[in-house]
Structure 1
Amino acid sequence: MGEPVSLGEVQETLLIPLYGRARDAGDTRSILGDDMAVKLVEEIDYDFAKFTGPSLGGAVLRASIFDQYVRDFLDEHPDGTVVDLGCGLSTRFDRLDNGRVRWFDLDVDDTMALRRKFFEDTTRYTMIAGSLFSTEWYEQVRERSGPVFLLSEAVLLYFPPEEVNAVLGQLAQAFPSTPLAFDTGGPIMMNNQDRNPDFRQVPARMKWVCEDPRTLEQFGLALVESRTFASPQREVASRWPAKHRYGMRALSWFPPVRTYKLNLFRTEMSEPS
């Protein structure tokens, strides 16, 4: 028997990208090469085979774009701190560890309890059980001075807009002049969730609609860049098989591709007094 899963409704969605990364690892030309995801899927007692839709491949493309945001940060700040907010069972630290980064993975109690079955803290890697909407983790991740990179992948979408707006302003105040990466989805994407065969297998639904990421600048953010699956970074596109590289470009007009955005912001607010 594998490790049993006992997760809340939103938390259960983390199993979709995990399975997507595991399937990708088995491809002849894997994008992420996430062998750890394969191990996790093999050791977790869950019916992953029920996920068969486009979200599996989409999760891999999304992860590769977010990975590049982090790589670019670490190229400039190799001793910097990275915080993955709502990490789920991400293996991003394993993929991107440069031997110098200070890394924090944060997620709620049930997810972190499952995560700790497979991962351990080290001198440079720390798991925190907590909510990205709380402030209790702030001081811990600022334990050493220097640049910080914040990211939250496929998490904020599941919360009401008032909660998302509040936490964005909160992060902008607490982490001034800091890069912050997260994804947004427009109304067409949100209104068609029930047509997605993967979403039909889980009860949670996304709640936060953001058609134009630039509107979030009112919360103390500056939009650096906004990408879709049709416009990955050049380094990322070179690692994608042709079916994704050219296929997504051909679908750049398609609403689910055009309105789902992978964004890099920088907080603008000054240090709190």
Structure 2
Amino acid sequence: MTQAELSGVPETALWTLRNRAEEALRPDSGYVDTEAVRLYRALAGEDFERFGPPSQVHSIRATVIDKIIVDFLATHPAGPVVALGEGLQTTYWRLGEPEVAWFSVDLPEMIDAQQRLLPPAPGITRLAYSALDRSWFGHVPSGPAVITAEGLFMYLPPGQIRVLIADLARHFPGGILLYDSIPRVFSALTMKGRVRLSDRYIAPPMPTSQSIRQARRLPGRIPGVVASEDLIPPRGRGRWASPVLRWVANAPVARALRPSLTLLRFGE
């Protein structure tokens, strides 16, 4: 158990928090995440070094998701936003605490951590359920919604993801779903305990993978899914800004070997 009182998969929320905060603290970065920095400093006694060197990957992912949410709210001002497995994401504060119906769905352990560690947020309804427990559907109105699943699906059983997506499409017609995926080779390494971020931390098993090709095939294979889009992240700093790296990452072979961020659209 950590200073934040998290363990297992919920503990990975500290990994992503550290990466976002470290990026926001850099003077040469345009990424702003004031609440992540505040919480990171408040947890100064936490052993963040166990997660290895900081990476831009989570701040870049957050930037993409922020834009999609903002675009959705431009046409659906009341939301809702449904954040599955939200963890210690600080999206709500980065977006200026929007006056929308915002639902955070997470395990009881994480909901407790949110209530202890994050600022009071009357606009957020916290639902202590696994994303796979459809009971939470009864607390969220049906209709168009933007649903996020950052760093979630890779930890869920492979056979249950498509069923969950179909249920989301049925409950949220006209809505969209954003989620990130890992390649099969990375998933296999985690299942063998071979993704070691440091001598003190091994990444938890991630049984579910998805390639960009598999994501493109989801419309027509999952009821209610009408479109799938591979979201290209913005340029970051250093090598993350390299046009050569971006070209290589989108070459046919590399596309099957890199992480991805998928946007699914649900039919009306």
* TM-score grouping bracket, smaller chain normalisation: 0.7 to 0.9
Q: Provide structure 2 residue ranges, at least 5 long, that are not aligned to the other structure.
A: none
Q: Give the equivalent residue in structure 1 for 2:108.
A: 109
- Change in CA separation of 1:203 and 1:93 when aligned onto 2, cut-off 3 Å: same
Shift in Å, 1:192: 4.0
Higher RCO (C-alpha 8 Å, min separation 6): 1
Q: Does 1:185 pair with 2:188?
A: no
Q: How does 1:24-173 map to 2 (within 5 A)?
A: 24-44=23-43, 45-53=45-53, 56-97=55-96, 99-120=98-119, 122-142=121-141, 147-173=144-170
Q: Give the equivalent residue in structure 1 for 2:6.
A: 7
Q: Provide structure 1 residue ranges, at least 5 long, that are not aligned to the other structure.
A: none
- Change in CA separation of 1:224 and 1:76 when aligned onto 2, cut-off 3 Å: farther
Q: How does 1:177-216 map to 2 (within 5 A)?
A: 177-193=174-190, 196-198=195-197, 201-211=201-211, 212-216=214-218
Would the aligned equivalents of 1:168 and 1:219 in 2 still touch at CA under 8 Å?
Answer: yes
117-126 vs 180-189, greater mean Cα deviation:
117-126
Shift in Å, 1:92: 0.2
Tell me, what secondary structure is at the counterpart of 1:173? helix
Q: Give the equivalent residue in structure 2 for 1:219.
A: 222
CA distance in 2, matches of 1:107, 1:30: 30
CA distance in 1, matches of 2:183, 2:122: 40
82-91 vs 7-16, greater mean Cα deviation:
7-16
Tell me, what secondary structure is at the counterpart of 1:83? strand
- Change in CA separation of 1:146 and 1:167 when aligned onto 2, cut-off 3 Å: closer
Could you state the TM-score of these two structures normalised by the residue count of structure 1?
0.83
Letter in 1 for 2:226: A
- Change in CA separation of 1:147 and 1:165 when aligned onto 2, cut-off 3 Å: closer
Could you state the TM-score of these two structures normalised by the residue count of structure 2?
0.84
- Change in CA separation of 1:163 and 1:110 when aligned onto 2, cut-off 3 Å: same
Identity %: 27
Q: For the aligned residues, what is the CA RMSD? A: 2.6
Shift in Å, 1:197: 4.1
Letter in 2 for 1:105: S
CA distance in 2, matches of 1:59, 1:246: 18
CA distance in 1, matches of 2:65, 2:161: 19
Query: How many equivalent pairs are there?
Result: 256
Q: Does 1:176 pair with 2:180?
A: no
Letter in 2 for 1:213: A
Tell me, what secondary structure is at the counterpart of 1:216? coil
Tell me, what secondary structure is at the counterpart of 2:116? coil
- Change in CA separation of 1:198 and 1:257 when aligned onto 2, cut-off 3 Å: farther
Q: Give the equivalent residue in structure 2 for 1:265.
A: 264
Would the aligned equivalents of 1:12 and 1:202 in 2 still touch at CA under 8 Å?
Answer: no
Would the aligned equivalents of 1:52 and 1:198 in 2 still touch at CA under 8 Å?
Answer: yes
CA distance in 2, matches of 1:123, 1:35: 19
CA distance in 1, matches of 2:197, 2:264: 29
Q: Map Cα deviations across residues 162-210 of structure 1 (whole Å, 9 max, x no partner).
A: 1212211221222222111111222133234456442871351211122
Q: Map Cα deviations across residues 23-79 of structure 1 (whole Å, 9 max, x no partner).
A: 01111133431122122122234210122246x321111111111211211222222
